[in-house]
């Protein structure tokens, strides 16, 4: 790995670790706002996280990617400094600020992934995406640890928002040292056509299905298990296994098998959903969740990139970035409503159906591949 690659991964860990704000916000906001007002603020955060990654995927170029990423990190930092100053004021103000936090933090994560992707050599995308996932998971682990320490202490959350803001502002210029990636001309500059729409619809479908599985396995267990405290154990097992195993996965995965990883990831999710529905076991969940996540992260982006033309790659990566926000916002409603109507197993059935449908669809879809960058004639 080059020094630039390592710096980019370190920034991704930092930006992802900044996600502790959304974790502690639930506790912090309840001190000054009602449950409905807190829900409104968190919804604003989630809506912001949905919008910008996909939009930026159509707009960024080789010249603008780094400046936009730098600006996103800096704005994220500035708004984090403002949040403690407005705490306790009108809920619309804090909701607006958290909307910007969600938008800029998700944009920064997505653009860092885009930058790393286009800086990586052809033939190494599966390994690159696994490294990106590992860095994001490490950041999430740091975020969870920070949130746990804060929740267990009597520290003021405003101090942490301030520290995060200062760190983001201070490290944003590091982006400009990462080198300019080669981003193919984007579809936003021309008419997509039916083929382009189909390619991006494929990216959206894969992104929504894979992120629904990766987020939905833990979310469903947390919402329907008969032993709520065991979710912490399952999440801890998953987190530890991911951090330990992903570096080894990076050594063995290959781009040529990316679709197979995706198929087996959906199959593993189906088996996990059925087994956990029958056993309510946090150990089974932790193991199955880990296997599915390792396979899906190795296969998701490389499969999408292999089946879309290079001019649509940045847009496709942005769509995958927005998929995380969309499924995070939609899944709780779907899981709770289906479980209310048809019982606790309904949520698991939903995930199993997604797994079966996409593993079968990908098994029969022709495996057309393209390079990350256009080849010279």
- CATH fold for domain 190-370: Growth Hormone; Chain: A; (1.20.1250)
The pLDDT tens digits for 3-21 are 777 888 888 888 877 666 6
CA angle 55, 59, 65 (to 5 degrees): 110
Comparing CA positions, the residue from 122, 118, 358 lying closest to residue 254 is 122
What average pLDDT does the segment 43-57 reach?
Answer: 82
In whole angstroms, give the CA distance from residue 302 to residue 104: 25
The pLDDT tens digits for 110-142 are 888 888 887 776 667 777 888 888 888 788 777
- Can you give the pLDDT at residue 213? 96
Q: Is the pLDDT of residue 28 over 90?
A: no
**Mean pLDDT (the chain, rounded):** 82
Q: Is the pLDDT of residue 368 over 50?
A: no
In whole angstroms, give the CA distance from residue 292 to residue 296: 6
CATH class of 1-183: mainly alpha
Structure token digits, residue 343: 């019982």
- Can you give the pLDDT at residue 208? 95
Structure token digits, residue 51: 């919008």
The pLDDT tens digits for 152-207 are 665 566 777 888 888 889 989 988 888 777 776 654 445 567 778 888 899 999 99
Which ranges constitute the DSSP H helices of 60-178?
65-86, 91-119, 125-152, 157-171
Structure token digits, residue 315: 């847009």
**How many other β-carbons are positioned within 10 Å of the β-carbon of residue 43?**
15
SS3 370: coil
Please list the helix, strand and coil fractions of the chain in percent, rounded to the nearest 5, in that order. 85, 0, 15
**Radius of gyration, CA atoms only, the chain:** 20
Cβ atoms of residues 90 and 38 within 8 Å: no
pLDDT-derived band at 26 (thresholds 50, 70, 90) equals low
User: For the chain, what is the total number of helices (H) and then of strands (E)?
Assistant: 13, 0
167: burial class by Cβ within 10 Å (0-12, 13-18, 19+)?
middle
User: Is the model more confident about 124 or about 44?
Assistant: 44
In whole angstroms, give the CA distance from residue 253 to residue 249: 6
Most confident of 51-60, 78-87, 225-234, 320-329: 78-87
Where, residue-wise, is CATH 1.20.1250.20 in the chain?
A: 1-183, 190-370
- Can you give the pLDDT at residue 370? 45
In whole angstroms, give the CA distance from residue 89 to residue 104: 22
- Can you give the pLDDT at residue 167? 86
- Can you give the pLDDT at residue 373? 44
Q: Which residues are CB-neighbours of 23 under 8 A, at least 6 positions away?
A: 143, 144, 147
Query: Position of tokens 């010279």?
Result: 376
| Count of all residues that appear for the chain in the document | 377
In whole angstroms, give the CA distance from residue 267 to residue 356: 6
Angle between helices 282-306 and 125-152 (to 10 degrees): 140
In whole angstroms, give the CA distance from residue 269 to residue 91: 39
Cβ atoms of residues 219 and 331 within 8 Å: yes
Q: Is the pLDDT of residue 107 over 80?
A: yes
**How many other β-carbons are positioned within 10 Å of the β-carbon of residue 154?**
5
Query: Position of tokens 């910007």?
Result: 100
Q: Is the pLDDT of residue 372 over 80?
A: no
The pLDDT tens digits for 332-367 are 788 888 888 888 889 899 999 999 999 999 987 655
């Amino acid at each position: 790995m080059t020094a630039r690659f390592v710096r980019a991964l370190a920034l991704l860990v930092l930006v992802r670790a900044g996600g502790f704000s959304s974790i502690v916000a639930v506790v912090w906001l309840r001190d000054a706002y009602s449950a409905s007002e807190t829900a409104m603020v968190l919804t604003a955060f989630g809506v912001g996280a949905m919008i910008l990654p996909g939009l930026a995927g159509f707009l960024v170029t080789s010249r603008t990617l780094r400046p936009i990423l730098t600006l996103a990190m800096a704005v994220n930092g500035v708004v984090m400094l403002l949040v403690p100053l407005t705490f306790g004021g009108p809920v619309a103000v804090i909701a607006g600020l958290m909307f910007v936090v969600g938008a800029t933090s998700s944009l920064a994560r997505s653009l860092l992934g885009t930058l790393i992707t286009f800086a990586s050599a052809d033939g190494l995308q599966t390994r690159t995406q696994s490294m990106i996932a590992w860095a994001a998971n490490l950041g999430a682990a740091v975020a969870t640890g920070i949130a746990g320490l804060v929740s267990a202490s009597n520290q003021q959350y405003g101090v942490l928002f301030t520290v995060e803001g200062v760190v983001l502002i201070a490290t944003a210029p590091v982006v400009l040292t990462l080198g300019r990636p080669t981003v193919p001309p984007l579809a936003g500059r021309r008419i997509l056509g039916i083929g382009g729409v189909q390619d991006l619809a494929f990216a959206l479908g894969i992104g929504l299905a894979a992120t629904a599985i990766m987020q939905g396995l833990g979310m469903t267990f947390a919402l329907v298990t008969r032993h709520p405290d065991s979710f912490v154990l399952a999440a801890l097992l998953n987190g530890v296994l991911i951090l330990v195993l992903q570096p080894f996965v990076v050594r063995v995965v290959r781009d040529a098998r990316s679709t197979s990883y995706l198929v087996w990831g959906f199959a593993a999710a189906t088996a996990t959903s059925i087994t956990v529905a029958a056993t309510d076991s946090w150990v089974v969940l932790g193991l199955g969740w880990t296997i599915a996540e390792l396979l899906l992260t190795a296969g998701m982006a490389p499969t999408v990139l292999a089946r879309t033309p290079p001019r649509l790659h940045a847009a496709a990566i942005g769509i995958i970035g927005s998929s995380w926000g969309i499924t995070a916002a939609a899944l709780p409603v779907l899981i709770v409503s289906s479980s209310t109507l048809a019982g606790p197993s309904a949520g698991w059935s939903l995930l199993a159906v997604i797994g079966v449908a996409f593993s079968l669809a990908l098994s029969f879809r022709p495996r057309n591949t393209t390079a990350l960058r256009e080849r010279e004639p």
